[in-house]
Amino acid sequence: MTSTKNRQTLWSRLTNPKYIMVYATIGIFLVIYAFGAVAYGDKGFTTLRTFVNLFIDNAYYGISAVGMTMVLITGGIDLSVGAVASLTGMFLAYGTSVLGLHPLTCIAAALVMGVGLGLLMGWVIHYLNVPAFITTLTGMFLARGVCSLISRESIDIHHPMIDALAGWKIYLMRLVDGQWVKVKPIAFINFNVILFLVMIALGTFILQRTRFGRNIYAIGGNEQSAKLMGLPVGYTKVMVYGFNGLCSVLAGLSYALYVKSGWNLSLQGGELEVITCAVIGGTLLTGGVGYMVGTLFGVLLKSIIPALITFNGNLLSWWGKLATGGLLLLFICIQRFVVTSARGRK
């Protein structure tokens, strides 16, 4: 990059080839959405409600995917997110329903647990040089085991504050003859959706506008070079895993609000769903590349497939898994193509 290129026009910035994966994700989402609109438009696929439900039903995956994207950009991986989210739900359910604690106390305890475990795993990964896969796998076993130690039964959450938070919703309105009326069929956004969007915004800010975010990309690009440049590699990596722990706890909170209960086996395999969201959102598992906008659309893309299957009504829900696998394959091939052609250009 020459110095004259510092002031780029908006257009040249948007057409930067580094965003090609994000555009691929958005494009494929639009294609699938258009297909749904043509095939099931008469059944209400194009309504605002269907679209908003994509967010409502997958907010917890999305929240977790924010932290996961950062971890993946550093070139690491975190398999503990599903178990930590599940443990958060158990804390909340067991704390409020069995121990009679205030939900805020439980959430605070969960935050200490999740962020603490994240920081610890980050420390082990960086300073003891244990592969991230193994470290976070152990973290997953630990969190999942503690879930089962707390209770093997599903515990319902009954607390006025949780009920209020879970029931809180903003109805989407539109202007008809100078009057605001609810859109039909009724569509609303709730606390989970707002939390999801806030986390995406926060993630974008951290990655694009802070020194910490630039360090994350630098480590993912080449950890050795980052270290030689004097960047705080250890600090950044530990903090990224800590932040991911925070995201897992928030995802667990969001899931607990969604199902209003805690269960020791909830969100099993959730870590893979989250990683899949990030990968089809254009994040490279080799590190160094990834954007929050891509992850946002990755979550939508992954969640639109079950929606299509529901609208079809005749297919086994297992076809969804097959379609997700197919999408993964497609994106991996596109990524491969992009990386190879980028190398060819150099």
Question: Which stretches of the chain bind other proteins, using CB under 8 A?
Answer: 77, 79, 124, 127-131, 133-135, 137-142, 144-149, 152, 264-265, 272, 275-276, 279, 285-286, 316, 318-322, 324-326, 328-329, 332-333, 336, 340
* Smallest distance, other proteins to C-beta of residue 234, A: 13
Give the bridge partners for 173, in sequence order: 182
The sign of the torsion formed by the CA atoms of 267, 273, 277, 278 equals: positive
* Smallest distance, other proteins to C-beta of residue 219, A: 17
83 vs 239, which CB is nearer to other proteins? Answer: 83
Give me 222's structure tokens: 């080449």
Nearest-angstrom CA–CA distance, 195 and 202: 10
The kind and range of the H/E element at 179 are strand 179-182
* Smallest distance, other proteins to C-beta of residue 116, A: 15
Cis peptide before 306 (omega within 30 of 0): no
107 vs 140, which CB is nearer to other proteins? Answer: 140
Q: Are 106 and 95 in contact (CB under 8 A)?
A: yes
Task: Give the CA count within 13 Å in the CB-facing half-sphere of 134.
Answer: 7
Q: Are 107 and 92 in contact (CB under 8 A)?
A: yes
31 vs 149, which CB is nearer to other proteins? Answer: 149
The DSSP output letter for 96 is I
CA 191 to chain centre: 16
* Smallest distance, other proteins to C-beta of residue 278, A: 11
* Smallest distance, other proteins to C-beta of residue 329, A: 5
The kind and range of the H/E element at 175 are strand 173-176
210 vs 286, which CB is nearer to other proteins? Answer: 286
133 vs 235, which CB is nearer to other proteins? Answer: 133
27 vs 131, which CB is nearer to other proteins? Answer: 131
Nearest to 237 by CA among 250, 251, 247, 223: 223
Q: Are 52 and 172 in contact (CB under 8 A)?
A: yes
* Smallest distance, other proteins to C-beta of residue 258, A: 22
* Smallest distance, other proteins to C-beta of residue 321, A: 3
Nearest-angstrom CA–CA distance, 102 and 343: 55
86 vs 190, which CB is nearer to other proteins? Answer: 86
Nearest-angstrom CA–CA distance, 83 and 141: 8
